[in-house]
Amino acid sequence: MKTGRDRDEWLDEYRGFKKYLNQCVMCQSTGYDPVKIQVKEGLYFKDKAMEHFHPLALNEIGLCLDCAERFEAIQGPGREA
Ligand SMILES: [Zn+2]
């Protein structure tokens, strides 16, 4: 991973990449959507993207896997409102 400043400059240059980015609503970590970017073969900035970002999958409520686990631990399994 490069520094944050490099990454921001790179994002400025490849604005189209922003739609492939995910951000966790809880920890605010940012990464590319591993599913969307796989589908998009021949994306010219894909290799660059992988240099600058790590993959970040989100669940249906916008949590990364780490936060989803933590969230479930707090909520307890299968608890309904
Ligand atoms: Zn998170």
Read off the pLDDT of residues 25-42 as tens digits, 9 standing for 90 and up: 999 999 999 888 877 666
What's this model's pTM, rounded to 2 decimal places? 0.72
Assess if residue 63 is contained within a domain: yes
Quickly state the pLDDT bin for 77 (edges 50, 70, 90). low
Answer whether 36's CB lies under 8 Å from 17's CB.
no
77 Cα–ligand 1 center, Å: 19
What separation in Å is there between the alpha carbon of 66 and the centre of ligand 1?
6
Residue 65 belongs to some domain of the structure: yes
28 Cα: distance to centroid of ligand 1 (angstroms): 6
Q: Is 32 helix (H, G, I), strand (E, B) or coil?
A: strand
Distance 57 CA to ligand 1 centre (A): 10
Residue 49 lies in a domain: yes
- Whether residue 30 contacts residue 56, with contact meaning beta carbons closer than 8 Å, is answered with yes
Q: In the structure encoding, which two tokens stand for residue 35, read together?
A: 């599913």
Residue 81 lies in a domain: no
Enclosing domain of residue 57: 4-75
Instruction: Give a yes or no: residue 64 inside a domain.
Output: yes
Structural domains in the chain (count): 1
> 63 pLDDT exceeds 70?
yes
> Could you tell me if residue 37 is inside a domain?
yes
